[in-house]
Chain A
Amino acid sequence: MTVWKSPLFLSGFLIIVSLFFGSIIYSNFVPNDKQPVMQIRYDENKNAIDGAPIAPFKDMPFGTDRFGVSILHKVIDGAKYTLGVAFFIAFARLFFGTFLGLVISQLPKFILNTLSKLFESFYYAPATIIAYLLLYPVLQIFTWSLPRDIQTIFAVILLVIIAVPPIMVTVANETSKFLENEFISSVKVLGGSRLHTLRKHVLPHLRPRLSILYSQQLIATLLLGAHLGILQVFIGGTDFITLDPLENNTVPVAMINEWSSMIGANYYQIRGDRWIVFAPLAGFAITILALNFMVEAMKRQYLAKGAYTKRTRRVKKTKNPVPVKKLSQEQFDRIMKTGTDN
Chain B
Amino acid sequence: MYLLVLRRIVYFLMPIVGVFFIGALPYLFFSNVQGIEAVARLLESGAIKNALFLDQDLGLFFRNYLENIGSLMLRLITFSNVEYYEYQQIKLLFPTILTPFYYSVKLVIGAFTLAISSSLILALIVKTLPDKIQKGVRFVFFSLESLPDIFIVVMIQYGMILYFRNTGTLLFPIAHSDQNPTYFIPILCLAIIPSLFLTRTLLFLLDDEDSKTYVEFARAKGLRYALILYVHMLRNSLFSLFYYSKTVYWLLISTLFMVETIMAIPGITDFMLDNGPTTPEVITVSILLMFVPFYLLFTGVSYILSHKLGRTEEEVA
Residues on A facing B (Cβ under 8 Å): 113-114, 117-130, 132-134, 136-138, 141-146, 150, 154, 158, 222-223, 226-227, 230-231, 263, 267, 270-271, 274, 277-278, 281-282, 284-285, 288-289, 291-293, 296
Contacts and interface: CB of A to CB of B under 8 A. Distances in A.
B291 interface: yes
Question: Which of B22, B143, B272 has most A Cβ within 10 Å?
Answer: B22
Interface string B13-48: 011111101110110011000001001100000000
Contacts of B243: none
A296 B246 CA distance: 21
Please classify the interface of chain B as helix (H, G, I), strand (E, B), loop, or mixed, using the class held by over half of its residues.
helix
B52 A230 contact: no
A132 B271 CA distance: 13
B297 interface: no
B18 A121 contact: yes
B18 A130 contact: no
9 contacts: A117-B18, A118-B18, A124-B291, A124-B295, A129-B257, A133-B283, A141-B40, A281-B154, A282-B151
Given A121-B18, A129-B272, A226-B150, A145 B56 contact: yes
Interface of B: 11, 14-19, 21-23, 25-26, 29-30, 36, 39-40, 50-52, 54-56, 58, 142-143, 145-151, 154, 158, 161, 246, 249-250, 253-254, 257-258, 261-262, 269, 272-273, 276-277, 280, 283, 287, 290-291, 294-295
Contacts of A223: 148-149
Contacts of B269: 129
Contacts of B11: 113-114, 117
Main DSSP-derived SS at the A contact region: helix
B241 to A, nearest CB: 18
A158 to B, nearest CB: 8
Contacts of A129: 257, 269, 272-273, 276, 283, 287
B26 A133 contact: yes
Given A118-B15, A121-B15, A124-B15, A289 B36 contact: no
A269 to B, nearest CB: 12
Nearest to A277: B154
Contacts of A122: 18, 22
Contact of A120 (B18, B56, B146, B154): B18
Nearest to B246: A123
A123 B251 CA distance: 10
Contacts of B39: 141
Given A141-B277, A154-B58, A124 B250 contact: yes
Nearest to B280: A133
A282 B154 CA distance: 11
Contact of B15 (A120, A126, A144, A282): A120
Nearest to B175: A271
Contacts of A230: 150, 258, 261-262
A271 B174 CA distance: 12
B146 A292 contact: yes
Given A117-B14, A123-B250, A124-B250, A142 B272 contact: no
B19 to A, nearest CB: 5
B29 A142 contact: no
Nearest to A267: B262
A270 B154 contact: yes
